[in-house]
Chains A and B, each alone.
Chain A
Amino acid sequence: KAGVTQTPRYLIKTRGQQVTLSCSPISGHRSVSWYQQTPGQGLQFLFEYFSETQRNKGNFPGRFSGRQFSNSRSEMNVSTLELGDSALYLCASSLGGIRPYEQYFGPGTRLTVT
């Protein structure tokens, strides 16, 4: 089975721009979660989508948004980029459902904001 894929792998943007990151989950997985990883804050939960609905959201400003498509692929968008948004963005997929199944992570998208 193919793993979780994320595109692009690396991205350089300028302050004020917006960016869209994409995640394709493992086939059959219906839940996609997004995490931000920075040296200062560590791994922080952004949001989770299950069957095209946002099921949970972390403590991030409204500039961070996401969506999930009917094929379970997910995108996250960050508008009006700030320097502090520079981070590794990780996507994780799991079967979903009513219990926390193990999540399988993609390789991440390294975003640099200049």
Chain B
Amino acid sequence: QKEVEQNSGPLSVPEGAIASLNCTYSDRGSQSFFWYRQYSGKSPELIMFIYSNGDKEDGRFTAQLNKASQYVSLLIRDSQPSDSATYLCAQDIQGAQKLVFGQGTRLTINP
């Protein structure tokens, strides 16, 4: 069973709407969760990290973590065409530093 699951998409959202990206994980011991954005042909860049249950907001981005249900999500408000990219969810593995990544969700924002 894959440790981090994401819907590969593509997810299409109209410009100005809210994009909702979801990720589920199996390792209950994980304490650190990360969202990375990856443009085609580029390396991943950090969007947000979250350690605690609840919401964490940064500008147009909100990360949500629910450890009881083992999911983490990323909301993008007022979506822009420049938000079109693949979004990678990652978690650390208990007792180890390595990150395990989901397959990524390809997001397209339509003007």
A, B co-complexed? no
